[in-house]
Amino acid sequence: MKIFTDPEQFALLLPAWGSLLAVDVSKRRLGLAGTDPGRRLVTPLTTLCRGRWEADMERLKLVVRRREVVGFVVGWPLNMDGGEGVQAERARAFATGLKEAFGLPVLLQDERLTTFAVEEAIREGRLPKPKRRSAPLDHYAAAVILEDALRAMADCPDPQMDRRRPA
């Protein structure tokens, strides 16, 4: 399997049925969001505190198995000018590890302004206010990343994308 930056190429490798798992990666946490098997709904799942790589992968294996995941979408924090900084390189390294650990396709999805989108949704009442000011919002950021990826895949001109849409 391969790591993709192009949603169209990523979509071509996916089976017609099965969920996607988005991961918002930071040094201390992993925000998780998933789709239903038909890839129509996105659900923020949880925010995990990171531990050793092996422990993180074991926890992800449980989610992958339970949710029947067929591909990953990893948030790719590009600089505002589109360049890759240290955080984007870390996300790419994490994506490489996922690919090796699970053998599933991985899409690096531009995540610029996702935190802003989450904060805006909370202010507007579209997302619940966290009980504590310091509560992690990473799973919501992962949901925004996943929604952006699904939108980009739906915009692909590829006729194979229509196989997931009911007639």
CA 75 and chain centroid, separation: 6
| Crossing angle of helices 53-67 and 86-102, rounded to 10° | 60
Q: Name the pTM for this structure.
A: 0.86
> 135: phi > 0 → left, psi -120 to 50 → alpha, else beta; which?
beta
Q: What percent of the chain has pLDDT over 90?
A: 66
Rounded average pLDDT over 69-96: 92
Domain for residue 121, yes or no? yes
Domain for residue 159, yes or no? no
Q: Which residue has the higher pLDDT, 99 or 159?
A: 99
Alpha-carbon span 56 to 22, nearest angstrom: 14
Lowest mean pLDDT among 6-20, 32-46, 84-98, 135-149: 135-149
Rounded average pLDDT over 17-36: 96
Look up the CATH number of the domain holding residue 128. 3.30.420.140
pLDDT digits (tens, 9 = 90+) for 99-121: 999 999 999 999 877 777 777 87
Domain for residue 58, yes or no? yes
Domain for residue 165, yes or no? no
Number of domain units in the chain: 1
Domain for residue 143, yes or no? yes
pLDDT digits (tens, 9 = 90+) for 50-70: 999 999 999 999 999 999 999
CB atoms within 10 A of CB 49: 9
Domain for residue 162, yes or no? no
Domain of residue 20, residue span: 3-154
pLDDT at 36: 97
